[in-house]
Structure 1
């Protein structure tokens, strides 16, 4: 399987990603640059550039999603799925893995997904919907 990210010479990693832009599926490029302990993400959509940064990949994706949601744009990846969320350890170690959660059920290793993969069977939602699912789940 091909690696999700493509390295550029300046250490920026690039990935083609699909987005839902006002109900229309489009292709875009997501740029990731790690500077010291900070994860920086950038995406350009319709000549607008959106940035985010955090100390871990998942939280940086969440910050980017919050900005995109204001324009009715959603990343089509598992990080945007309502019932996908990483454990504290998954976030702390900076990986791209998270659990696909189910109400009333303990997550297991078979529930681990990559946040940048996309399972079209799962429901994409807002950051708020994802946080609410986490609280009640």
Structure 2
């Protein structure tokens, strides 16, 4: 996939000196761009390079998340419209269309609370000493 995404001119500004092009992890790929046109080009490039090595993009799993934009034009792949979503989870972190961390932090707090509550019987146990707890 490096071949299809390494042009270095369609990513997002990360810092004053650096640009973040895409996020790749095993078989997960998050394409990043500032414009709809750039995203459409990247999507087509990834599909073409994938096809050249007998791989395909699972259209049912492919989602589009538009951050802080009014553009409602769809991203298409082989003539099919990709699903727009308000948020999705990438490598355990929730990314939403506002670009903030609120949803991710809330889910992490909820998970920690649920785990803590599972230990309620241990905390209330009279059979276990305070040192063990």
Q: TM-score, normalising length from structure 1?
A: 0.28
Q: TM-score, normalising length from structure 2?
A: 0.28
Greater relative contact order (Cα < 8 A, sep 6+): 1
